[in-house]
Amino acid sequence: MTLRETYSRQSQTGLGMITMTPVRQQLKFRFTMFDGTMNTEWMIFFLTMVRRYYGKQVMIVFDRLSSHLTAEAYFERMHPDWFLFEYFPSYSPELNPVEQCWHWMKNVAMVNFVPMCMECLEEKDFDAAQKINNDPKLLPAFFHHAKLSL
């Protein structure tokens, strides 16, 4: 059997994060998709929306992508009280539970899925993220896999 895609390739980037409520310590996987590749402008926009949503200082734990480092420098200069930035060690995606979310979405929820359009892909991504959030064992398991305590 041969699978053929019927639309032209576009570059899509997913940006994800796991949030935890401070009192009830509820975990939630949140993500957005956008056209193109990750850059500093997208990261600044995304973090500005995070700040707008939460309305108070938020701890952000990043990997060391250059757009993350540049966005941190921007916020340290322009809004130093908005975020507290921490970093995973270099070259350690196994320590990042968000990487486990992406892995699960691609290799479990979307295995053998061939999107026929960009909207189909986005809908399937959303459904996969909802499955992560609706299963009370998945996000804690991703932290356990990374050997991180909650």
Nearest to 29 by CA among 107, 121, 119, 142: 142
Phi-psi region of 25 (alpha: psi -120 to 50; beta: other; left: phi over 0): left
Q: What is the pLDDT of residue 117?
A: 81
Q: What is the pLDDT of residue 124?
A: 92
Q: Give the residue ranges of DSSP H helices in 25-96.
A: 40-54, 66-78
Spans in the chain with pLDDT lower than 70: 1-10
Amino acid identity, position 72: E
Q: What is the pLDDT of residue 128?
A: 95
3-class SS of residue 36: coil
Query: Tokens standing for 137?
Result: 């064992």
Tell whether 1 is covered by a domain.
no
Q: What is the pLDDT of residue 107?
A: 93
What is the domain range of residue 86?
12-145
Nearest to 16 by CA among 83, 87, 105: 105
**Domain of residue 72, CATH code:** 3.30.420
Q: What is the pLDDT of residue 101?
A: 94
Instruction: Look at strands 12-20 and 58-62 and give their pairing.
Output: unpaired
Angle between helices 40-54 and 66-78 (to 10 degrees): 50
Tell whether 6 is covered by a domain.
no
Q: What is the pLDDT of residue 62?
A: 87
Tell whether 130 is covered by a domain.
yes
Q: What is the pLDDT of residue 3?
A: 52
Number of domains in the chain: 1
Tell whether 150 is covered by a domain.
no
Tell whether 3 is covered by a domain.
no
Q: What is the pLDDT of residue 8?
A: 53
Q: What is the pLDDT of residue 77?
A: 97
Q: What is the pLDDT of residue 86?
A: 92
In whole angstroms, what is the distance from residue 126 CA to residue 130 CA? Answer: 6
Tell whether 136 is covered by a domain.
yes
Tell whether 98 is covered by a domain.
yes
Tell whether 104 is covered by a domain.
yes
